[in-house]
Chains A and B, each alone.
Chain A
Amino acid sequence: MVENRPLTAFLTHLVLILGVIAIALPVWITFVASTHDALRMNQAPLPLWPGDYFLVNMKQTLFGSGLSGTESAPVWLMLLNSLAMALMISTGKIAISLLSAFAIVYFKFPFRMGFFWMIFITLMLPVEVRILPTFEVVANLGLLNSYWGLSIPLIASATATFMFRQVFLTVPDELLESARIDGAGPLRFFFDILLPLSRTNIAALFVILFIFGWNQYLWPLLITTDTSMTTIVMSIKQMLEAAEQSPQWNIIMTTALLAMIPPVFVVIAMQKLFVQGLTETDK
């Protein structure tokens, strides 16, 4: 700070604390809802202070039948499905982007730029604009209701390829020269030199992509009809629909809490990598 004025300093902290409260309020209310029993959650006004049913709700949500009166998979299975999908999407994206960036930067071959532009085009085709035909392709390939169908159509990535291309371009040429003099082939160079050099970039990207994968909604909604393949994020919508008949907000909000804990934890625990990943991929 340039000058030292106690009043401005006070004002600064006041505004920031109000901002933090405003941002956290929806989640606080969710948390409070997950700590009361169903009876209390049906009386207006709803509580603003936690009760003591948190563990009971947690247990019923995770291992019980979930929402009574609905046919759905247990929540622990949904969490596992989400985890599998998020991990497959993030590692898949990183793996294929590393390989294609390596090919584009370190090899001269016919159609190199053609391939580059083809990857670039994927930036302009989000799932939302090609919903129906992509669904048909996946259905024809027999990938509905499978982990492959959940992840593979989403793992092509222009941003990840660009980012790795950027990273590879900063690697000094001398490294390749000396590697070649020492008799290393392309794959050896890739695994022993390029991969270790881009370790932090891979980690940063992984954080972003994990969140991206975990939070997928429209895609899993379309291609999973089998309840055992439901992901936690898409289950919320079904629960909200059920809530219109029999509101069990304590269970719904406990599920919502469980659905957001893993990605939020990743952001907070790996904040440095998260910020790096976000600013690197979105340039």
Chain B
Amino acid sequence: MLKRVHFPTSALPYLLVAPQIIITLVFFIWPASQAMYQSFLIEDAFGLGTEFVWFENFQILATDHHYLASFQRTAVFSVLVAALSMGFALILAGFAQRVVRGAMFYRTMLIWPYAVAPVLAGALWVFMFNPTLGIFPYFLEFAGITWNHYLNGTQAMALVILAAAWKQVAYNFLFYLAAMQSIPNSVIEAAAIDGAGPARRFWTIIFPLISPTTFFLLVINMVYAFFETFGIIHAVTQGGPGTSTTILVYKVFNDGFVGLDLGGSAAQSVVLMVLVIAMTVVQFRFVERKVAY
């Protein structure tokens, strides 16, 4: 942690950490504690006074079926986004690590969507699935499916999942590819000599060996689906139709900025904070294990 040889104590180190610490205090710790404090308050109907109510906001949340439904929806959304993008990335990486000629080309062509902002990913997909003009609804019509994600909640959910997963494939692909390339060739060759074909080698050797990466990516993808997909939801469906795509992050924003329910929104923030902390702890415990592994 600290160097064996270091500089003597002076005022300098305080000056060096000052910018980072001041920004952390002003824009992170203070607002977070404010959110925590506000989650204990309820504003009266006219916005004139506030009352300290301890955990009442949380009790309201726990019994609010809109909130519980949103929780469930977020779980479905994030599991599907993670499964879809990780599955797709795993298949592509499994094939890409076998390629010698053109490996660089494939990698470049598969990682660039990382740089596309979530809201842009949403815009591209909403354009492709535009009910009156889009390409996919046009073809789906032939299959007898009428596509209108402005009216059909399931279709809206499918659309945001597709857009969110599409953007994340690049990230998962890169990490899977790196993990597969770090497996010693001798292991693969030994299996091949014993008569295992490519598919069998993949499932019995490669896939188990990269399981730490799978776990790591699972956590990262859950965090991504929980928090970073706000832009996609906001651009594509605005939580609708009805509340069929209102995931937790969107609900915090909507209740706070549009509904102006400060206490309720703050309580939701606190719940989300607890979730992030849990995920970060899981992620860091995993990193420690990887070092030992």
By a beta-carbon cutoff of 8 Å, the part of chain A in contact with chain B is 1-3, 8, 12-13, 15-16, 19-20, 23-27, 29-30, 33, 41-42, 44-46, 48, 95-97, 99-100, 102-109, 112, 115, 118-119, 121-126, 128-134, 136-138, 152-153, 155-157, 161, 168-169, 173, 176-177, 180, 186-187, 211, 214-215, 217-218, 221-222, 233-234, 236-237, 240, 247, 249, 252-253, 256, 259-260, 263-264, 266-268, 271, 274-275, 278-279, 282-283
Q: Interface with A: B61-69, B73-81, B111-119, which one?
A: B111-119
Measured in the bound complex, the distance between the Cα atoms of B276 and A3 in whole Å is 46
- List, in ascending order, chain A residues with CB within 8 A of B117's CB: 214-215, 217, 233, 259-260, 263
Given contacts A129-B227, A134-B31, 12 further A-B contacts (CB under 8 A): A1-B98, A2-B188, A25-B128, A26-B121, A121-B28, A133-B32, A153-B27, A211-B115, A218-B230, A233-B120, A249-B133, A278-B174
Q: Could you say which interface size class chain B belongs to? A: 35 or more
A24 and B116 CA atoms in complex are apart in Å by 12
Could you tell me the distance in whole angstroms from the C-beta of B160 to the nearest C-beta in chain A?
Answer: 14
- Quick check: B269 and A130 within 8 Å, CB to CB? yes
B214 to chain A, nearest CB (A): 15
Which residues of chain B have C-beta atoms less than 8 A from A252's C-beta? 123, 127
Whether B116 pairs with A100 at a CB distance below 8 angstroms is no
Residue of A nearest to B16 (CB): A103
CB-CB under 8 A for A186 and B231, given A44-B133, A260-B115, A267-B114 = no
Is the Cβ of A129 less than 8 Å from the Cβ of B19? Answer: no
Chain B residue nearest in CB terms to A208: B114
CB distance from A132 to the nearest CB of B (A): 5
Q: Do the beta carbons of A237 and B235 come within 8 Å of each other? A: yes
- Complex contact B262–A132 (CB within 8 A): yes
Contact A105 B35 (CB under 8 A): no
Partner of A215, one of B118, B124, B273: B118
Contact across chains for A266 and B115 when beta carbons are under 8 A apart: yes
B127, A128: Cβ atoms closer than 8 Å: no
Q: Secondary structure of the A side of the interface?
A: helix
Note all chain B residues with C-beta closer than 8 A to A130.
28, 31-32, 34-35, 269, 273
5 residue pairs, one from A and one from B, having the closest CB atoms? A133-B31, A215-B117, A263-B115, A103-B16, A133-B34
Instruction: Mark B residues whose CB is within 8 Å of A.
Output: 1-7, 9-10, 12-14, 16-17, 19-21, 23-32, 34-35, 38, 88, 91-92, 95-96, 98-100, 102, 106-121, 123-128, 132-135, 138, 166, 169-171, 174-175, 178, 188-189, 192, 198, 201, 220, 227, 230-231, 234-235, 249, 252-253, 256-257, 262, 265-266, 269, 272-273, 276-277, 280, 287
Q: How far is the CA of A233 from the CA of B119 in the complex (A)?
A: 7
A11–B280 CA distance with the chains assembled, in angstroms: 39
Query: Nearest CB to that of B34 among chain A residues?
Result: A133
CB pair A16 B106 closer than 8 Å: yes
| B273 lies within 8 A of A125 (CB) | yes
A-B contact pairs, 29 of them (CB 8 A): A2-B189, A23-B110, A44-B132, A96-B19, A102-B16, A104-B2, A108-B9, A112-B2, A124-B276, A125-B276, A130-B28, A133-B30, A133-B35, A133-B38, A134-B27, A137-B26, A137-B31, A153-B23, A173-B3, A173-B5, A215-B118, A233-B117, A237-B231, A259-B117, A263-B115, A267-B111, A275-B178, A279-B174, A279-B175
A78–B109 Cα distance when bound, in Å, is 28
Alpha-carbon gap, A42 to B134, bound state (A): 10
B91 touching A279, Cβ below 8 Å: no
Known: A119-B24, A264-B116. A131 touches B269 (CB 8 A): yes
User: Judging by beta carbons under 8 Å apart, are B95 and A105 in contact?
Assistant: no
Which A residues are in CB contact (< 8 Å) with B16? 99-100, 102-103, 107
CA gap between A211 and B171 in the complex, in Å: 13
Given A15-B92, A99-B20, A234-B119: A131 and B257 within 8 A (CB)? yes
| Residue of B whose beta carbon sits closest to that of A210 | B115
